Structure 1
């Protein structure tokens, strides 16, 4: 699993506009006045996994083989300091929509890409959700699924 998480982190880090890429350990929630991140950020975590038995292979370790389906949560967050009101200036609106440009760049990097060519299938986007917060942080979660084969 660590190979997959590190590969995703490296791939997202290729996007120069993202200042901070890390495993999500609660950086956006567990802070006093300022989250310990740089803006904008992308945080990666394993949401869920289910595994099925696909038989035995005595030549492999472990010999009981499985197929897994996991969901990964990529949280994209930024300080939202400008609004996107229709009557705002073009410059202000463009800055207000920046997070969606980042989400598109992440999607272009991850969707259909294999983070571990030996054991995984391709990442497939499954859902997206905005989180309402009471601070100036705009937070969007993108969920990807990944099939792990013969593990």
Structure 2
């Protein structure tokens, strides 16, 4: 897969920090610091515009260090960027801590991972096959 990036930020392109990294860090592209009060949500620009092949998606994921140390996460869990999106990559952040948190220009705020996806052929039916598990779910095997 080839990834084309227009970088309108003041920061270097995302890169894999180690040979075993599955994600590349995304940086905030800000004119001034953002202060998030507890439970505040904000859309943070990156200054990046992407183009990648159909059959892939980009997943924006939280950074574990920010979550643990500052309580910063993504309110939607994982953000999906479709292969046909051409707008600026922006990251929704939430402050889940009890303290104000400041996001600074150039700070690494999230990571991006690329995944191959399958598009299923949808077949409408009247019933589906039974299994040993059946309808059991939501903790049916214990906690």
Query: TM-score when scaled to structure 1?
Result: 0.30
- Bigger fraction of residues in helix: 1
Query: TM-score when scaled to structure 2?
Result: 0.31
Q: Which has the higher contact order (CA 8 A, sep 6+)?
A: 2
